[in-house]
Chain A
Amino acid sequence: MQIILYTVLLLGGIGAFAALALYLTAKKFKVEEDSRIDLVEAALPGANCGGCGQAGCRQFAEKCVKAGSLDGLRCPVGGDATMRAIADGLGLQAGESDPQVAVIRCAAECLKRPTTNRYDGAKNCSVAHMLYIGETDCAYGCFGFGDCIAACQFGALSQNSETGAIEVNADKCTACGACAKACPRHLIEIRRKGPKNRYVYVACANQDKGAVARKACENACIGCTKCQKTCEWDAIQIEHNLAHIDGDKCRMCRKCEEACPTKAIRSVHFTNEKA
């Protein structure tokens, strides 16, 4: 009985001493931190995706508190609601900006692009891009090995098992930009969503001359300028045989989509979905 008592007392004594030592050390070496950082961090989504340009949510919170203004600071995942909450907490002004979404500038459907060879190397877009043009004649298109899917932390990207195309779930996409960085062919563009989350974009990145591009893919942008001529808002520019719709100028009238002879222009979230 005595042995048990001594043991309990001894261990309890050591425990109490260690607790006291830890308490005193923590007290002495306490790092004073602005308590607002914790508040801001709590308001953030906590995804640590790096979409804001900082290493993680904590670093973004520190930056918000230290910067003294929210200019140029934005959490793309939380969007306006989160930024407003942070601004209220810090007594600052948050800039409004439209929600954004990732779009893949390649329709990449197997049936639309004739395969000219079979790739046998590591199933990784970066590796394939370093080696050669890819399994089709399009030097700009999607490989479909899913580097972007692996990079997405929000499960917004998926590969269509029938067509092989990478598809964006616009409701899940937070426009953090991780996929755009992962794509070795820079196919992914972060662009503005209009009212009702609608957007129109050119689903092609081929800069070859029209005939070459068309031969490689049925849905290639051939730089024919039809969309540019149709657009009443001067939103479409053609550079290097490739059309680009300016998200800020586009009024989502979809006339360009109708005019496009190769169906390279896509629209999302319209009631009579065409694509």
Chain B
Amino acid sequence: MKTFKIGGVHPHDNKLAAGRRFEPVPLPKEAIIQLNQHIGAPAVPVVEPGEEVKVGQLIAKANGFVSANIHSSVSGKVTKIDEIIDAWGAHQPAIFIEVEGDVWMPDIDISGKFKPTCNLSADEIKRKIADAGIVGLGGACFPTHVKLNPPKEHVIDTLIVNGVECEPYLTPNHRLMIEKGEEIMVGVQILMRALGVDTALIGIECNKRDAIEELERIAARKEGIRIVPLKMKYPQGGEKQLIQALTGREVKSGQLPSSTGVVVQNVATVFAVYEAVQLNKPLIEMYMSVCGKEMEQNGNFRARIGCSVNDVVNMIGGMPEVTGKIIAGGPMMGRAMIHLNTPVTKRTTGITFISQKSAPRFASSPCIRCGRCIQACPMGLEPYLLYKKALQKDWDFMEAHHIMDCMECGCCTFTCPSRQPLLDFVRLGKATVAANIRKRKS
């Protein structure tokens, strides 16, 4: 079985909710829809307080090239456009909608019928995807239409679909592949059409045997789509790692993945593309998992964007009392939250609860120069050195040592026997270097 070449670690996968079907979360009384749910500039509201909106109606327009439209996920009245305090204490602009009924926009197909054929041209598909406000649902939230328009000098020959889901605990992609396999395959064909390629590779880690079998069964009837089972290794779901695992091509430092002739899309994104192109349904729902070892029960949910994370967690009995950490996403790349009273956004792919017993970090001791972090780094960096240089504030050195290649996967901190906070400082260096680069450019 294939996998990527350098680095990587093997955390326990803990896919606790893998066997549970998606359950819909009931409509909230009030939806709070954040305006920056993507990388890039926040969207600009196009509705006024007091206005009536329907499900799927455009409420905020993309602002600039790397930005995405935002649609109402509920029907009702816009009460105000104000700031909320998100799960990390930051002020975020948001649109507040008081929910009344569930009235959808008339052009959205809610009949529930499966639509396998698409005869649209590449440009029409890309326009529909941009209109629907689709962003990369692997967690990075990079607008999909931008990714589908790579620079002209890059010739794309392969579409890669990311069904790896290497992050421990998270299961929404796994469940989507099982429950919405047919739709995902149509989505893959639509994206192949949009990119003008005739090969698509779907990479799935071998802990999801049922998903591999399901998609292989469907792919047998389709031309050009191949399912590739992958050996389990974190962070295989990283774009550059997946490209290497599936095609053997290497993305050079500082270059876009499309320079290797490949475009990578997550399966959840592909499903959103199917809904947008075939059903005219914009991105208004998130598929997410909620799990933790201490939960009475773990589950997968389909929640409207803008409903409270607390409501989703309450679906399975609320937060367990012994919780020590709540993490948005999984334990490797996720971010610890300070409260649950925050709306679901396009970034929310799962909520993980870690118990008080296992949440605190271990006390760190001095570096013993074992070099394990270097072995573990999938980007071939030297985390111990970057950590040291961050303490010395030697930002130029860090830039010269390719700090911007770091994707913050956390393998270095995971593997460090001295429990040093490597990633914390590498991340600080990356943020500072990125700011310095921006300053130089402007």
- Cβ contacts under 8 Å, A134 to chain B: 89
- Cβ contacts under 8 Å, A122 to chain B: 421, 424-425
Q: Are A132 and B88 in contact (CB under 8 A)?
A: yes
Answer yes or no: B322 CB below 8 A from chain A CBs: no
Q: Are A130 and B325 in contact (CB under 8 A)?
A: no
Segment among A12-20, A77-85, A113-121 that sits at the interface with chain B: A113-121
A122-B421, A122-B424 are known contacts. Are A139 and B431 too (CB-CB below 8 A)? no
- Cβ contacts under 8 Å, B427 to chain A: 127, 130
The 8 Å CB contact of B90, one of A121, A124, A132, is: A132
Answer yes or no: B5 CB below 8 A from chain A CBs: no
Q: Are A126 and B428 in contact (CB under 8 A)?
A: yes
Interface class of chain A by DSSP: loop
Q: Are A137 and B89 in contact (CB under 8 A)?
A: yes
Q: Are B424 and A121 in contact (CB under 8 A)?
A: yes
Q: How far is the CA of A116 from the CA of B336 in the complex (A)?
A: 14
- Cβ contacts under 8 Å, B425 to chain A: 122, 124, 127
The listed residue with most B CB atoms (<10 A of its CB), out of A122, A124, A127, is A122
Number of interface residues of B (CB under 8 A): 18
Q: How far is the CA of A46 from the CA of B389 in the complex (A)?
A: 26
Answer yes or no: B361 CB below 8 A from chain A CBs: yes
Q: Are A133 and B90 in contact (CB under 8 A)?
A: yes
Q: Which size class do A's interface residues fall under? A: 10 to 19
Answer yes or no: A131 CB below 8 A from chain B CBs: yes
- Cβ contacts under 8 Å, B361 to chain A: 120-121
Q: Mark out the residues of chain A between 95 and 138 whose CB falls within 8 Å of any chain B CB in the assembled complex.
A: 116-117, 120-122, 124, 126-127, 130-134, 137
Q: How far is the CA of A130 from the CA of B359 in the complex (A)?
A: 21
- Cβ contacts under 8 Å, B254 to chain A: none
Q: Are B338 and A116 in contact (CB under 8 A)?
A: yes
Q: Are B90 and A139 in contact (CB under 8 A)?
A: yes
The 8 Å CB contact of A131, one of B88, B325, B339, is: B88
The listed residue with most A CB atoms (<10 A of its CB), out of B425, B428, B431, is B428
Q: Within the complex, what minimum Cβ distance (angstroms) separates B188 from chain A?
A: 37
Q: Are B89 and A139 in contact (CB under 8 A)?
A: yes
Q: Are A130 and B428 in contact (CB under 8 A)?
A: yes
Of all chain B residues, the one with the shortest Cβ separation from A184 is: B428
Q: How far is the CA of A120 from the CA of B354 in the complex (A)?
A: 13
Q: How far is the CA of A134 from the CA of B90 in the complex (A)?
A: 10
A120-B325, A122-B421 are known contacts. Are A133 and B428 too (CB-CB below 8 A)? no
Q: Within the complex, what minimum Cβ distance (angstroms) separates A156 from chain B?
A: 20
Q: How far is the CA of A180 from the CA of B88 in the complex (A)?
A: 25
Q: What 0/1 pattern do residues 82 to 109 of B give for CB contact below 8 A with A?
A: 0000001111000000000000000000
Q: Are B89 and A130 in contact (CB under 8 A)?
A: no
Q: Are B338 and A117 in contact (CB under 8 A)?
A: yes
Q: How far is the CA of A117 from the CA of B428 in the complex (A)?
A: 21
Answer yes or no: B112 CB below 8 A from chain A CBs: no
Answer yes or no: B366 CB below 8 A from chain A CBs: no
A116-B338, A127-B424 are known contacts. Are A132 and B89 too (CB-CB below 8 A)? yes
Q: Within the complex, what minimum Cβ distance (angstroms) separates A205 from chain B?
A: 15
A116-B338, A130-B431, A132-B338 are known contacts. Are A124 and B424 too (CB-CB below 8 A)? yes
- Cβ contacts under 8 Å, A120 to chain B: 325, 336, 359-361
Q: How far is the CA of A221 from the CA of B338 in the complex (A)?
A: 24
Q: Within the complex, what minimum Cβ distance (angstroms) separates B364 from chain A?
A: 8
Q: Within the complex, what minimum Cβ distance (angstroms) separates B360 from chain A?
A: 6
Q: What 0/1 pattern do residues 350 to 392 of B give for CB contact below 8 A with A?
A: 0000000001110000000000000000000000000000000
Of all chain A residues, the one with the shortest Cβ separation from B326 is: A117
The listed residue with most B CB atoms (<10 A of its CB), out of A116, A132, A134, is A132
B interface with A by C-beta (< 8 Å): 88-91, 325, 335-336, 338-339, 359-361, 421, 424-425, 427-428, 431
Q: Which 6 A-B pairs have the closest CB atoms?
A: A133-B89, A122-B421, A122-B424, A132-B88, A117-B338, A127-B424
Of the A-B pairs whose beta carbons lie under 8 Å apart in the complex, a sample of 9, sorted by A's number, is A116-B339, A120-B359, A120-B360, A127-B421, A127-B425, A127-B428, A130-B431, A137-B89, A139-B89
A interface with B by C-beta (< 8 Å): 116-117, 120-122, 124, 126-127, 130-134, 137, 139
Known: A132-B89, A133-B88, A139-B91. 14 other contacts (CB 8 A): A116-B339, A120-B325, A120-B359, A120-B360, A124-B424, A127-B421, A127-B428, A130-B427, A130-B428, A130-B431, A131-B88, A131-B335, A132-B88, A133-B338
